[in-house]
């Protein structure tokens, strides 16, 4: 589950321009602050994605084992539970980074209220807010996914579990995965929109 990163290198270049207007400089500084906070969360998100891929491959291999290979199943379940726990820790760090980035967005929002800015800048802040809400919804859904996967792994090592019961829980996990993927798709679309609106806002400031 990979996220699209915000591309703000253009804005970083703008900070070195000595003839920028004060509004452009303030706007750029706020954008850089938000981007720095988000980069931390994106780093945790990449690690989360890598662990997720390895864990998924291990789960598929484990599902193919027979009950006669119980000791091997138990060994793999231990590995998957450890991986899920590590993902939970990474998610906590990503959630913490999200809170920091929301504070930076709130600062930008306060600045917009106080400064005399264009509608284009206001739209950038609104899109950042929406994107942040999508990210928060993703984290909440991903927590549900982790809980459901932990329960599924416990069922895998239960020799008394019936196949249809196991499959029922697999379906629940798959639905949660699909839900997380939909939210990530929305997040990525919002990221592209943030970049588009920001580029337009900066262009309008240059033309003033």
For 184-203, the pLDDT digits (tens) are 999 999 999 999 999 888 88
What 8-state DSSP symbol labels residue 64?
Answer: T
**Does pLDDT of 9 surpass 50?**
no
Pair 142, 156: CB distance under 8 Å? no
In angstroms, rounded to a whole number, what is the distance separating the alpha carbons of residues 75 and 118? 60
Q: 6: which 2 tokens?
A: 């915000």
Q: 138: which 2 tokens?
A: 């993703």
Q: 20: which 2 tokens?
A: 């920028």
Length of the chain measured in residues = 208
Reported as a single tens digit per residue, the pLDDT across 25-83 is: 888 888 888 888 888 777 788 888 899 999 999 999 988 887 778 899 999 999 999 99
In angstroms, rounded to a whole number, what is the distance separating the alpha carbons of residues 158 and 161? 6
pTM (predicted TM-score) = 0.83
């Amino acid at each position: 589950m990979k996220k699209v990163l915000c591309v703000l290198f253009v804005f970083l270049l703008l900070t070195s321009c000595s003839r920028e207007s004060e509004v452009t400089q303030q706007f750029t500084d706020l954008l850089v602050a938000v981007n720095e906070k988000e980069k931390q969360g994106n780093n945790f998100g990449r690690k989360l994605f890598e662990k997720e891929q390895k864990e998924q491959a291990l789960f598929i291999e484990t599902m193919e084992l027979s009950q006669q290979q119980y000791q091997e199943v138990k060994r793999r379940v231990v590995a998957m539970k450890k991986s899920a726990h590590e993902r939970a820790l990474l998610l906590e760090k990503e959630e913490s980074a999200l809170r920091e980035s929301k504070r930076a967005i709130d600062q930008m929002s306060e600045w917009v209220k106080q400064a005399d800015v264009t509608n284009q800048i206001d739209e950038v802040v609104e899109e950042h807010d929406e994107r942040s809400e999508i990210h928060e919804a993703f984290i909440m859904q991903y927590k549900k996914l982790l809980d459901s996967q932990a329960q599924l792994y416990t069922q895998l090592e239960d020799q008394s579990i019936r196949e249809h019961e196991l499959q029922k829980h697999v379906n629940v996990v798959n639905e949660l995965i699909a839900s997380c993927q939909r939210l990530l798709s929305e997040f990525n679309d919002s990221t592209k929109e943030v970049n588009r609106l920001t580029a337009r806002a900066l262009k309008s400031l240059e033309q003033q």
